[in-house]
Structure 1
Amino acid sequence: MLDHSGPGRDLRSFALPESGRLLATGDVWEPYRLVDQHGLRVEPVAVYFKDLLAADTPATTLRSYGNDLLRWWRFLWALDIEWDRAVREDARDFMLWMQLADKPVRVHWRRRDAPAGEGQPALKAATAAPVPGSPNSVTGKPTIGTKYAASTRAHCETVLRTFYDFHLASNSGSLLINPFPLDRSRRCGRANAHHNPMEDFKAQRTGRYRPRVPERIPRRIPDDKYTEVFAGLRSHRDRALLASWISTGARSEELLTSRERDAIPGQQLIGVIRKGTRVYQQLPASPDAFVWMRLYQEEAWANGVPRGRDRPLWWTLRRPWRPLNYHAARAMFVRANKLLGSNWTLHDLRHTATFRMTQDPELSMAYVQHILGHKYQSTLQKYINPSTDEVIEAGLAHHARQEYKRAHPSPPPSTPAYNPESLGILFGGTPA
């Protein structure tokens, strides 16, 4: 029996239950709904989501917040604690559990429903998989580990702290304190109270239980590896998608918002809806992207894919025809990665496009900033610095030069001799 009291709570044996769900409703008035184990809507979360919608928050943000709130609610349900009765010891134990415990392992529905004997190939494949958290042999990027990442824990802490701040300001329920407090150094005063105006603002930890998140180093796909990934694609649609992502630098979900009218081959432009501002913007693309796009469209229209200027540009490859979403596009790229044993992501294509543009001396940084949709030009600083691949390549070249010098030592310098004519003039007489 799990002890519900704070000091004596045994977190080692705690298992997060798979109760409740975050449902996608398809309703613009309530895009996502958090329900409990009985299918009833969790009202405090629904009120919070409604306030976020009024603040013009995208539905994708509500989905991200909903996953963190669902994790917290499952923790409360397992300990039989009301959401407005949670104290700081409960928040402390929750963040400590996220830091030290393993993530819950969900069994895929195909393996769960498979008859006896059909799960053996899956077990063999699992044994050949790399160790979670180990670096990939092709890309050098670490694989997904068994623990919650620091960025996931930081995002969860921020969401829960702002959720309780909202209900404290609204006097909801019997809530008295925020169980996710600010850092001890931030109890009084404001952030950057003694900031020197001649220096840049420094990021400050605001939550007491918020972890330190290391700055991510963007990785690009080398040209030879990109060619191998591109050759492993199975359809003209996938080739057109990859060529468009790598040339426009658009985010993966932004390119999927394009309509047929947004692709203008004569001007080499593709129109997308930006993720943050949700404004329409035309992006320049390479000629190869439009060649593969035309091949994809001719093939898709011949198979019966709906066509029209207001129709989506990207569709699924099988009936019933549906607009391509992010999850299907990601699954396509994962299949291409498996052929090489790599673990690049769709966002690495955006990093690769950014590296290519920033290394072009004739392309101004102001133009790159506008193409990528960054708010500040300082965001491009990390792309100007040498990438991890360039640093490794330069280091290996240094060791190769040192090895060559050891194998081919240069002859010692000869001792300089005096000029005989100068000696004759100095001492008088003719030198021997």
Structure 2
Amino acid sequence: MLDEQRSGRDLRNFVLPELGQLLKTGDPWEPYRVLDGLGRPVAPAALYLKELMARDSSPLTPRSYGMDLLRWFRFLWALGIEWDRATREDARDFMLWMKVADKPTRIHWRHRGKALSKVPPPRTGRPAPGTPNPVTGKPTVGAKYSPATRAHCETVLREFYNFHLDESTGSLLVNPFPLVRGRRLSQLGTQRDGGKKHRNRRTGLYRPTVPQRVPRRIPDEMYTKVFAGLRSYRDRALLAFWVATGARAEELLTVKQGGAIVGEQTISVIRKGTRDYQDLAATPDAFVWLRLYQESAWKKGVPRDRHHPLWWTLRRPWRPLEYDAARMMFNRANDLLGANWTLHDLRHTATFLMLDDPNMPPVYVQKILGHKYLSTLDIYNRPTGDDVIRAGLAHHARQEKRREATPVPVDEPSYNPDSLSILFGRDES
């Protein structure tokens, strides 16, 4: 009966139900927990997330993996399918739905429970979803799932089922998210990754092709406007440190007060992947803004100790500043300009500034950014769309100046007017 339902399944009007949630527990042993519609932990997801934590993953990894697992379980719950009875057809329909359907519209928590007539309409004047932003040129968030989101989800679910197949969990027999079979991905060729060659690399059957993103920098004049749009000493200090150090957003937000050493003009961060403790050089301006922020914060009663976090909320009750709050702070400054830069674009901006310095060896830039391989910087050598347009316009301008500067020969050969008259049959009478 279920096989007949699968063969005749039509997901054109399917809406993913808002069942369950991904709960942030605050427990380092289990940072995130996937719950079902009744608030009960989803055991297969909990076991897999525990495996991820044992692999020395970042605490944020269970969050991104948990969101993909929750989306898949919601799909199965809506169709009445047990997770260990899912087939390749179910995986196919799920990935097809993610590709074609619009993302679910989520109502802001302030408007939940209100009538639809009382929910304010979206603000006008913004570019349509998926179209380039007129200020930055970056595409805006589209109405559909991006290829990167779909590829990440496919990988997470394939590894999820591989794990449970190895553990012989439940009645699972095959992985519903298979690899490409009987076909060598010759178009990938031989790939280099840190000097290691990977031949005949296989990929997921339903994994989409992800276009490579070109990093973008914030121009100097626009950076000045964004900086001026910030409201507090804290926000300006954060922006100055992000652009000066090239640290990731989360790395800078987890710095302790003792990690900012003014005398040495360095700030100490814990690297995302390796969890290494690294000192990064910053500008004097960044430390000036930091000192202004600390003086005003300490007067208000923010905890002061070298082992306490460096960045705090601006209002009581005092809490360490988290990524989502920092992102919203930066988005407010973006909205003043109609831009859509992200916190990660600040890291790209810092990288471009360092690579533009002829006296800065790229190997030092690699160490500052915390990259494992020097080849990671190759993406910054690829021109952006704006660079290509500027280069094309400059080329046309040089050609025009060359034509204007080149004198026309006096005895330049030309067509005989009489010959032209005979050719076109003109009557000279």
Q: TM-score when scaled to structure 1?
A: 0.89
* TM superposition shift of 1:289: 0.5
Matched, 1:312 2:309: yes
Structure 1 position 195, deviation (Å) = 5.5
Q: Which of the residues 170, 176, 179 maps onto 2:176?
A: 179
Quote the residue 2:53 is aligned against. 53
2 CA distance for matches of 1:302 and 1:330? 26
State the match for 1:160 in structure 2: 157
Pairwise CA distance, 1:163: 0.5
Residue of structure 2 equivalent to 1:72: 72
How far off is 1:167 after superposition? 0.5
What code does the residue aligned with 2:94 have? F
Amino acid paired to 1:16 = L
- Partners of 1:346 and 1:83 lie apart in 2 by 37
Q: Deviations over 1:273-295 (max 9, x none)?
A: 11111111100111111111111
Deviation string 1:9-43 (CA, Å, 9 cap, x unpaired) is: 01101111000111011111111111110111111
Residue pair 1:25, 1:31 contacting (<8 A) in 2 also? yes
**What does residue range 217-256 of structure 1 map to in structure 2 within 5 Å?**
217-256=214-253
Q: 1:128 to 1:40 in 2, by over 3 A?
A: same
Shift of 1:325: 0.5
Which of 405, 408, 414 matches 1:412?
408
C-alpha separation in 2, matches of 1:336 and 1:3: 53
Deviates more, 1:132-141 or 1:3-12: 3-12
User: Counterpart in 2 of 1:264?
Assistant: 261
Structure 2 counterpart of 1:363: 360
> Is 1:389 the equivalent of 2:397?
no
Q: 1:326-405 residue pairs with structure 2 within 5 A?
A: 326-403=323-400
Partner in structure 2 of residue 137 of structure 1: 134
Instruction: Give the drift of 1:175.
Output: 0.4
1:219/1:388 contact within 8 Å kept = no
Q: SS at the partner of 1:271? A: strand
1:326: Cα distance to partner? 0.3
- AA aligned opposite 1:300: A
CA contact (8 A) 1:3 1:9 kept: no
Native 8 Å contact 2:154 2:207 kept in 1: yes
The one-letter code matched in structure 1 to 2:180 is D
Residue pair 1:359, 1:384 contacting (<8 A) in 2 also? no
* Distance (Å, rounded) in 2 between the aligned partners of 1:3 and 1:393: 57
SS at match of 1:23: strand
Deviation at 1:317, TM superposition (A): 0.7
Q: 8 Å contact 2:256–2:308 — kept in the other structure?
A: yes
Aligned residues of 2:259 and 2:267 also touching (Cα < 8 A):
yes
Corresponding residue for 2:419? none
**8 A contact 1:301–1:307 mirrored in 2:** yes
Preserved CA contact (<8 Å) 2:216 2:384: yes
Structure 1 residue matching 2:7: 3-state secondary structure: coil
| Contact in 2 for aligned 1:103/1:148 (Cα 8 Å) | yes
The 1:165–1:320 alpha-carbon spacing in structure 2 relative to 1, beyond 3 Å, is same
Residue 389 of structure 1: how far off its partner (Å): 3.1
Q: 1:223-279: CA deviations, max 9, x gaps?
A: 111111111111111110000000100000000111111101111100011111111
Distance 1:345 1:194, change over 3 A: closer
1:322–1:158: structure 2 CA closer, same or farther, 3 Å change rule? Answer: same
Compute the TM-score of the two structures, normalised by the length of structure 2. 0.89
Give 3-state SS (helix, strand or coil) of 1:126's partner: coil
Q: Confirm or deny: 8 A CA contact 1:35 1:41 kept in the other structure.
A: yes
Distance in 2 (alpha carbons) for counterparts of 1:30 and 1:199: 34
Matched letter for residue 412 of structure 1: V
The reply on whether 1:88 has 2:88 as its aligned counterpart is yes
Please give the alpha-carbon distance, in whole angstroms, between the structure 1 residues aligned to 2:47 and 2:186: 29
Runs of at least 5 residues in structure 2 that lack an aligned partner in the other structure: 413-429
RMSD between aligned residues? 2.6
Question: Residue 128 of structure 1: SS of its match in structure 2?
Answer: coil
CA contact (8 A) 1:192 1:201 kept: no
Q: Secondary structure at the match of 1:283?
A: strand
Judging changes above 3 Å, is the alpha-carbon distance between structure 1 residues 342 and 194 closer, same or farther for their aligned structure 2 residues? closer
Query: 1:203 offset after TM fit, Å?
Result: 8.8
- Report Cα offsets for 1:365-384 as digits up to 9, x if no partner: 11111100000000001113
Give 1:399 shift: 3.2
State the Cα distance separating 1:413 from its structure 2 match.
3.8
CA distance in 1, matches of 2:230, 2:75: 42
Distance in structure 2 (CA, Å) of the matches to 1:9 and 1:147: 21
Alpha carbons 2:191, 2:199 under 8 Å: kept: no
What's the secondary structure of 2:5's corresponding residue?
A: coil
Structure 2 residue aligned with 1:42: 42
Shift in CA distance, 196/56, structure 1 to aligned 2, threshold 3 Å: closer
Q: Distance in 2 between matches of 1:214 and 1:87?
A: 29
Distance 1:311 1:193 in 2: 48
User: What's the secondary structure of 2:26's corresponding residue?
Assistant: strand
**SS of equivalent to 2:24:** strand
Counterparts of 1:200 and 1:3 in 2: how far apart (Å)? Answer: 43
Q: C-alpha separation between the residues in 2 aligned to 1:352 and 1:389?
A: 15
Q: Which stretch of the first structure deviates more once superposed, 62-71 or 177-186?
A: 177-186
Identical positions, percent: 64
Name the aligned partner's letter for residue 153 of structure 1: R
Q: Report the Cα offset of residue 312 of structure 1.
A: 0.8
- Cα distance between partner residues in 2 of 1:116 and 1:164: 40
